[in-house]
Structure 1
Amino acid sequence: MSTDKPRVRFAPSPTGYLHIGGARTALFNWLWARRTGGTFVLRIEDTDRERSTQQAVDAILDGLRWLGLDWDEGPEVGGPYAPYSQTERLAVYQRYAEKLIAERKAFACYCTREELDAGRKRAEAEKRQFKYPGTCREKPYDPSRPHVIRFRMPETGATTYHDLVKGPITTPHDTLQDEVILRGDGVPLYNFGALVDDIEMKISLVARGDDHVNNTARQILMYEALGVPVPVFAHLPMILGADKTRLSKRHGATSVTAYRDMGYLPHAVVNYLARLGWSHGDQEIFTLDELVQHFDFKDVGATAGVFNPEKMTWVNHEWMRKLPRDEVARRAVPYFRAAGLPAEDGEKLRHVADVARERAKTFGEMVQQFRYFYAPIQLDPKAKDKFLTPDARPTLQAIRDGVAGLPALETAALEKLFQDTAAARGLSVGKVAQPVRVALTGGTASPGIYDVVQILGRDETLARLDAAAKVIG
C-alpha cells in the first residue's frame, strides 16, 4: 500500500457518546495518519437534527482527547476545508446535486410518501423486494414543487473495488435503485453527504465499519459520475459480544468516557482496541510508538472481533504495573477524591500506589480495595468473629506497645517486632499478623502487614489497634 501522505477521517454522528466501535475506527485512522505522516480529519455528521446534540459532540471530542487521538483538522482546531460539521455545509451539497442534475446524472423525484408506501405494500404482497420504479426519471426539473433528488443508478453491469481488509468486492447494478441523495429540505442522506465531504476534504482513504460495505458501490458510482478520483476503502470488521451478537451495553461495552470514570488508563484502552481486529504476531502489549510503527490495514482481519471486558481489564492491569509508582499515585488522586476520600499526591499515596498496582486492575478497584487507608474501617463480620477474639487480645496489645515504642516504622524493625511477638507466644508470624490485619483494615486481605502499618502511620495504627481492643471487650 502506498504511504504517500494519506488524508483519513473519522466522521461520527453526534447522537450519543463515543463508544467502543467508533473509538476503534478513530484509532485505526489516527494510527495510519501518524505512521505515514498523513492527516487525520475529524468531521461531525450532524444531519440527524432530531438526535444530534451539542452535548454529544462535546462527549465525542472529550472521548477522543482522553484517548490521546488528536486531530489535525476539525472542530476547535479548524483547517483549510472548514467548516467540519455537515449542518454548516448544506450549500455545498446543493451545489453538487445541481451539477448532477444538470448532467442528467440525478433527477428530482416528486413521488409522495403515500405513493411510495403503496408501491412497497404491492411488492410485499407479491413477495418481492421493493425497488424505486424510476417514475420521475424523465420528468423535467421543477424546483418549485416538493421533491427529493435521486441519483440515477446504472441498470446493467457491476461495480468492483478492492477493499484493503476484505479484498475484491463486486456489486451488480441490478441490485441497486435510484438512491435519494438530497431531501426536500436540502439535507443530504449519508452516502451523498459523506462522499461530497470526502471529495471536498481530499480524503484519500476511507476506513470505516463494515456495516457500510453495501454503501460503497453506490458511492463509487457517484464519484465516477462527478468525475473525481475514487478513494481507497477499508471496511473494518464488526465488533461482537461474547455471544457473537452485535456489541451492546449488555456485553459490558459502554462509552469510552465511562471507562475513564471506572479508572482505566487511556493507553490501555487504546492498546486493547488496537488488538480488537488487528494483530502484529502474538504481541499483546504495545506502547503507542509501537502501535504507530507497526499498524497497517493489511494486518486487519476480515472476521468480526469479540469484545472481552476481562481481557481489556487484564491489559489495563499490565499497564498499571508498568507505570512508575509516582505516576500511578498522581493518576489515582482524582479517583480517591471522587469517592470522597482525602488522598493527596504525597508519600502516603505513593506507598499505596506501590502496593496497590499489583492487586488492583483499575483505579476504581484501587479506591474500592484500599479506601481503608483514608476512611474509617468497616469491619467484616466474619473476619471480626474469627480473628478479633479474647485470645487475640495479648497479641494485639504486644504489637500496639511495640509500634508505640519503635523509633521509626522501618520494615526491618516491624519484621523483628512481629517475629519476636510470634516467638514469645509460640505462634507463626502469620497467626500474629492476621488479627492485626483485621484490626487495621477491617478484612483478611491486604498488602503486607508491614506496608499497612507504614502507610497508616504510627498514630492511626495505634488508634485502630485500640479500637479493636474495645471491639473484643
Structure 2
Amino acid sequence: MSDRPVRTRIAPSPTGMMHIGTARTALFNWLFARHTGGTFLVRVEDTDRERSTEAAVQVIFGGLNWLGMTPDEPPVFQYARADRHREVVAELVARGQAYRDYMTAEELEIERERARSEGRVVRSAWREADPSTWPDRPYAVRLKSPLEGDTVVADAIKGDVRFQNSTLDDLILLRSDGNPTYNLAVVVDDHDMAITHVIRGDDHLNNAARQTVIYQAMDWEIPIWAHLPMIHGPDGAKLSKRHGSQAVGEFDEMGYLPETLRNYLAKLGWGHGDDEIFSDAQAIAWFDIKDVVSAPARLDWAKLNHINNHYIREADPARLAGLVIEILKRRGEVVRQGDETLITRTIPFVRDGAKTTLELADTVAFVLKSRPLALPEKALSQLTDETRARLGRLRGALTQVADWNVPSLELAIRAFAESDGVGIGKFGAPLRSVLSGGAPAPDLAGALTALGRDESLGRIDDALSLRA
C-alpha cells in the first residue's frame, strides 16, 4: 500500500450523457478521498475528437455539480497532453521497452489470421529488429510486453487477479498517425496527476493488466487498483434503456434530489450494516474501498423512491418550492407573483406522501387554482341542499377562528361536527372538493391553512353560490 496522500480521479469521456454508473464511480472516488483526507480530481478523456463535444463536457460538470462532487483541483483535459504522451513513448523506445512496428495493414491482417489459427496473440516481426534497420516510412509504436510469467493486478476489491503474459499482446502505444492510444494516455496522466488509487468499473480490469506493464516499463509506482462491480437492472440483466433512466440528468428531471442519489448510489456495491439512509458525513466516515463487494449491484426503484421520500420530508420547504416552480415552468404553466410563497407554505402539508418532486408539484397544484374553481361533476353532486346548509354553518364557525393554523382549525372542525350532531365524514369530502376543485389535497385543516383564511372562505362562498 502506498504511503502517499490519497488522490483519486474520475475520468469520463465527453461523448454523451453522464451514465449512472459513472456517477457511482465518481461517488466512490469522492467518498474515499474525503474519508482519507485526500484529493478528488476530474480528468476529461476527450481524445475521441469526432465524438467529444463541448456540450458533453458541460453535461459531465453539470452532473457532478448537481451531485455535489466538484473536483478539488482544476480539471485535466487529456487531448491537451498528447505531446507529453508522445514524450513517454519515445522514452519507452529508448529504454528498449517499446519498438517501432512497420507492419502494413495487409501484413497485420495476415499475422492476425496466423495468430488466431495458432491460438496465440499477435506478435510483430519488428519486435526484435535492430533499430539500425528501421526504414523511413510510417510506423506504429508497440509496447514490448513480457513473454513469460504472470502480470498480477493487486485489486483492493477483487484481490489478486493474474494474467498470463503470453495472453497479452504487444499493445500499440502510438498509432501510425502519431496519436497516442487510450491505455498509454491513461497511465501517463494518472502518473503525472499522482493518482494513488484508480477506482473504476470492472469493465476496465483487463486494461489494468496492460497498464501495469506500462508502469513497470517506466519504473513508475503502480497505483492501487479497485474495480467496481457493474450496476444491473432489477431483473439482474446488464443495465440498459429498457430498465428506464440511466443518465444523471434524467434522475434530476424525474424529481430525485441529489442527496437521494448520493445515498442510494453508495448502497450499490457498498453498505454499512443495515443502514439504508445516512448523511454525507456518515458515508464519508464509514466508507472504505476495501468494503466494496465484488458482486454486481441491482437498481431498485422502490428503494430509490423510499429514500427520495425521506429526503423530501427532510428538505427545506423553500428549497422544494423553488424546485416545484422549475417543474411548473417546464410544464408550460404560468407562475404568478406570490406563487412560490404559497407553495412554500403548502409543502409541509403535502410532502409526506410524495416520492418525487414531480409528485410534490402535483400535490401543491390545488393552492394555485384561480377562483372561481371549476368543480368536477362528482363534487357538484355532493353539494345537496343539506350539505350546502351545513357548509354555510361551518363557514360561520370558521370565521370565528382567531389563529388560522392546523391545531386551531382541527379543534374548530371537531367542535362544529359535535355541535351539528354529525361525524366529519358527513361534510369532509364535499369541503375538500370545494377547497381543491377536485385535485389531490391534504387533510382539511392542512388545506385550509395552506390556502389561508381569505382564500379558503372565498372558495367556500363560490361553491355555495353555485346553483344546484
TM-score > 0.5, shorter chain as reference? yes
Q: Letter of the 1:299 partner, please give it.
A: D
- Aligned pair partner of 1:367 in 339, 361, 366: 361
Aligned partners of 1:388 and 1:472 also within 8 Å: no
Which position in structure 2 is the counterpart of 1:10? 10
Q: Are 1:133 and 2:120 matched, yes or no?
A: no
Matched ranges for 1:74-85 at <5 A: 74-75=74-75, 84-85=76-77
- Aligned pair partner of 1:88 in 80, 87, 90: 80
Q: Are 1:112 and 2:101 matched, yes or no?
A: no
Which position in structure 2 is the counterpart of 1:53? 53
- Aligned pair partner of 2:434 in 435, 439, 449: 439
Aligned partners of 2:347 and 2:364 also within 8 Å: no
TM-score norm. by structure 2 comes to: 0.89
Residue 379 of structure 1 and its aligned partner are, at CA, apart by 6.8
Residue 201 of structure 1 and its aligned partner are, at CA, apart by 1.3
Which position in structure 2 is the counterpart of 1:41? 41
Query: Could you tell me how far apart the structure 2 residues matched to 1:433 and 1:3 are?
Result: 68
Q: Letter of the 1:164 partner, please give it.
A: A
Q: Letter of the 2:127 partner, please give it.
A: R
Which position in structure 1 is the counterpart of 2:227? 235
Aligned partners of 2:112 and 2:122 also within 8 Å: no
Residue 264 of structure 1 and its aligned partner are, at CA, apart by 2.0
> What SS does the aligned partner of 1:43 have?
strand
Residues 1:192 and 1:388: Cα distance change in structure 2 (over 3 Å)? farther
Residue 136 of structure 1 and its aligned partner are, at CA, apart by 2.9
Aligned partners of 2:350 and 2:441 also within 8 Å: no
Aligned partners of 2:152 and 2:163 also within 8 Å: yes
Aligned partners of 2:199 and 2:226 also within 8 Å: yes
Query: Could you tell me how far apart the structure 2 residues matched to 1:136 and 1:467 are?
Result: 91
Query: Could you tell me how far apart the structure 2 residues matched to 1:129 and 1:372 are?
Result: 71
> What SS does the aligned partner of 2:448 have?
helix
Which position in structure 1 is the counterpart of 2:149? 157
- Aligned pair partner of 1:353 in 347, 350, 353: 347
Aligned partners of 2:366 and 2:441 also within 8 Å: no
Residues 1:423 and 1:447: Cα distance change in structure 2 (over 3 Å)? same
Residue 16 of structure 1 and its aligned partner are, at CA, apart by 1.5
Which position in structure 1 is the counterpart of 2:449? 454
Residues 1:52 and 1:380: Cα distance change in structure 2 (over 3 Å)? farther
Residue 443 of structure 1 and its aligned partner are, at CA, apart by 3.3
Percent of paired sites with the same residue: 39
Residues 1:445 and 1:383: Cα distance change in structure 2 (over 3 Å)? farther
Residue 145 of structure 1 and its aligned partner are, at CA, apart by 2.2
Aligned partners of 1:383 and 1:444 also within 8 Å: no
> What SS does the aligned partner of 2:352 have?
coil
Residues 1:424 and 1:216: Cα distance change in structure 2 (over 3 Å)? same
Following TM superposition, where does structure 1 have runs of at least 4 consecutive aligned residues deviating by more than 6 angstroms?
Answer: 377-380
Q: Letter of the 1:37 partner, please give it.
A: G
CA distances 1:247-300 after superposition (whole Å, capped 9, x unpaired):
223223322222223332211211111111111111111111111111101110
Matched ranges for 1:310-389 at <5 A: 310-329=302-321, 332-339=324-331, 340=333, 341-342=335-336, 348-376=342-370, 383-384=378-379, 387-388=382-383
Q: Letter of the 1:131 partner, please give it.
A: V
> What SS does the aligned partner of 1:161 have?
strand
Which position in structure 2 is the counterpart of 1:78? none
Query: Could you tell me how far apart the structure 2 residues matched to 1:292 and 1:410 are?
Result: 41
Which position in structure 1 is the counterpart of 2:273? 281
Structure 2: tracts of 5 or more residues without a match: none
Which position in structure 1 is the counterpart of 2:67? 67
More divergent stretch after superposition (26-35 vs 450-459): 450-459
- Aligned pair partner of 1:225 in 217, 223, 248: 217
Residues 1:143 and 1:122: Cα distance change in structure 2 (over 3 Å)? closer
Residue 357 of structure 1 and its aligned partner are, at CA, apart by 2.3
Residues 1:270 and 1:411: Cα distance change in structure 2 (over 3 Å)? closer
Q: Are 1:21 and 2:21 matched, yes or no?
A: yes
Aligned partners of 1:207 and 1:233 also within 8 Å: yes
CA distances 1:430-464 after superposition (whole Å, capped 9, x unpaired):
23111111222233742111111121123433443
Query: Could you tell me how far apart the structure 1 residues matched to 2:395 and 2:104 are?
Result: 87
Residue 147 of structure 1 and its aligned partner are, at CA, apart by 2.5
> What SS does the aligned partner of 1:72 have?
coil
> What SS does the aligned partner of 2:8 have?
strand
Residues 1:376 and 1:148: Cα distance change in structure 2 (over 3 Å)? farther
CA distances 1:111-161 after superposition (whole Å, capped 9, x unpaired):
33344345556677x5x7673232332444858523222111122111123
Q: Letter of the 1:434 partner, please give it.
A: A
Residue 74 of structure 1 and its aligned partner are, at CA, apart by 2.9
Aligned partners of 1:43 and 1:74 also within 8 Å: no
Residue 303 of structure 1 and its aligned partner are, at CA, apart by 0.5
Residues 1:200 and 1:344: Cα distance change in structure 2 (over 3 Å)? farther
Aligned partners of 2:264 and 2:307 also within 8 Å: yes
Residues 1:357 and 1:144: Cα distance change in structure 2 (over 3 Å)? farther
Aligned partners of 2:115 and 2:122 also within 8 Å: no
Which position in structure 1 is the counterpart of 2:389? 394
TM-score norm. by structure 1 comes to: 0.88
Aligned partners of 2:342 and 2:367 also within 8 Å: no
Aligned residue pairs total 463
Q: Letter of the 1:17 partner, please give it.
A: M
Residues 1:313 and 1:382: Cα distance change in structure 2 (over 3 Å)? farther
Query: Could you tell me how far apart the structure 2 residues matched to 1:302 and 1:413 are?
Result: 56
Query: Could you tell me how far apart the structure 1 residues matched to 2:191 and 2:375 are?
Result: 64
Aligned partners of 1:337 and 1:343 also within 8 Å: no
CA distances 1:309-354 after superposition (whole Å, capped 9, x unpaired):
2212211111222335455445544444544344758763333121
> What SS does the aligned partner of 2:359 have?
helix
Q: Are 1:306 and 2:298 matched, yes or no?
A: yes
Aligned partners of 2:325 and 2:340 also within 8 Å: no
Structure 1: tracts of 5 or more residues without a match: 76-83
Query: Could you tell me how far apart the structure 1 residues matched to 2:392 and 2:41 are?
Result: 66
Measured on the aligned residues, the alpha-carbon RMSD in Å equals 2.9
Query: Could you tell me how far apart the structure 1 residues matched to 2:275 and 2:265 are?
Result: 14
Query: Could you tell me how far apart the structure 1 residues matched to 2:119 and 2:442 are?
Result: 66
Aligned partners of 1:343 and 1:374 also within 8 Å: no
Residues 1:119 and 1:17: Cα distance change in structure 2 (over 3 Å)? same
